[in-house]
Amino acid sequence: MFDGVISFQPLPRRAIALAAAASIAVLTGCSTLSGPGAPTATTSSTAADTVIADDIAVLEDENLEAAMAHLVEDVEKEFGATVSLAVVDGKQDFLAGADGSEPAWSTIKVPIAIAALRDGASEELVDAAIKESDNDAALALWNQVEWTEGSAQQSIEDLLDSFDSEVETDEAFGMSTWTVKDQARFASHLGCIPEAEYVYDAMSDIVDWQKWGLSGLDGVHSKGGWGLDEEDGEYTSRQIGVMPVDGGEIGIALSASWQTWDEDKSYLEDSEYDAVEDISAAALDEIASRLEILIEKALETGELDPVNDCSETSKLAPVTTEPSAEPTEEPAKESGH
């Protein structure tokens, strides 16, 4: 459905389920799965220390982007995923892996919530949409923007464009295309947008069962999104985040995808789908924990320069808030999160 998505060999459903179960067993030291976002653990402190040492060695010998590429390669081999990773500071983009052009899923709720609050939406809806990833609340926020500004799609695109972030919105907003580079660019400015303050705070209070990846790191403001694209069988779990650091903030976005169709394009059984959800949480945990250390090291070496001047980034144009006619059709209901 989306041009530019990395293509890769479909895995048989049984292979996915068995591989996922085996990997989770190794990671958690148990043989049972307990749903997405279940706490995961590294195989051992010694192995983890070795992996981190390797990451840092690549950063010191080359640069942050090379270390990120090393991380991506490791995770893709370990988890059988296609990984996209972006880190953005006050000066440049650091990219590794694919571009993350799979569906945005619920990460798009961040700009939707900002635009809706600007148009008078309730904070309770924002709490539900951001902290709990409630799709009905997000739809209500989307409709608030649609009714107030005439086009929610155009409003979201204009909002992101104001911060050098491109998006191809879809009426079914979770299917919008928002690459990790553009997500991280927007995230790097998020703390500087006055209209985003409530959303920014909500992103640091995600419900416990969704605290994997960036959401499991102390101090990071993040929003996740995940779902199965029923047109191509690709399951994606992704996150957008802001990491406050000494001297400012760093924008982060990451995505991991798996092909879930077998050769006959059959869908996963519920238990197999649950296994893919679990392996995705473990993969994002691995990426986030290693990336956090790389960012800290790159800050020490001076390679990263945090966003710290809001006067350079807060440049939203005035928005008309005159109510317009209500839309004749509601957007399609969201199937992912």
Residue 322: the pLDDT is 36
From 3.40.50.300, 3.20.20.70, 1.10.10.10, 3.40.710.10, which CATH number describes the 40-260+267-312 domain? Answer: 3.40.710.10
Q: Which residues pair with 248 in a beta bridge?
A: 245
Mean pLDDT comparison of 109-118, 223-232, 321-330, highest-scoring range: 109-118
Indicate if the pLDDT at residue 176 is higher than 90: yes
Q: How far is CA 298 from CA 84, 160, 222, 225, 289, in A?
A: 19, 27, 21, 27, 15
Residue 1: the pLDDT is 28
Q: How far is CA 10 from CA 23, 166, 200, 265, 295, in A?
A: 18, 30, 37, 9, 33
Instruction: Provide the residue ranges of all domains of the chain, joining segments of one domain with +.
Output: 40-260+267-312
> How confident is the model over 284-300, as pLDDT tens digits?
999 999 999 999 999 99
Q: What is the mean pLDDT of residues 8-24?
A: 39
Local structure of 254: helix, strand or coil: strand
Distance CA 75, CA 241 (A): 19
Q: How confident is the model at residue 335 (pLDDT cuts 50, 70, 90)?
A: low
* Amino acid identity at 117: L
Which pair of tokens denotes residue 193? Answer: 């947008």
Q: What is the mean pLDDT of residues 89-105?
A: 97
DSSP labels, 243-265? EEETTEEEEEEEEEEEE---TT-
Q: What is the mean pLDDT of residues 179-186?
A: 98
Q: How confident is the model at residue 45 (pLDDT cuts 50, 70, 90)?
A: low
Residue 48: the pLDDT is 78
> How confident is the model over 131-161, as pLDDT tens digits?
999 999 999 999 999 999 999 999 999 999 9
Indicate if the pLDDT at residue 319 is higher than 50: no
Q: What is the mean pLDDT of residues 118-138?
A: 97
Residue 207: the pLDDT is 96
Q: How far is CA 69 from CA 29, 73, 251, in A?
A: 28, 6, 17
Mean residue pLDDT of the chain comes to 83
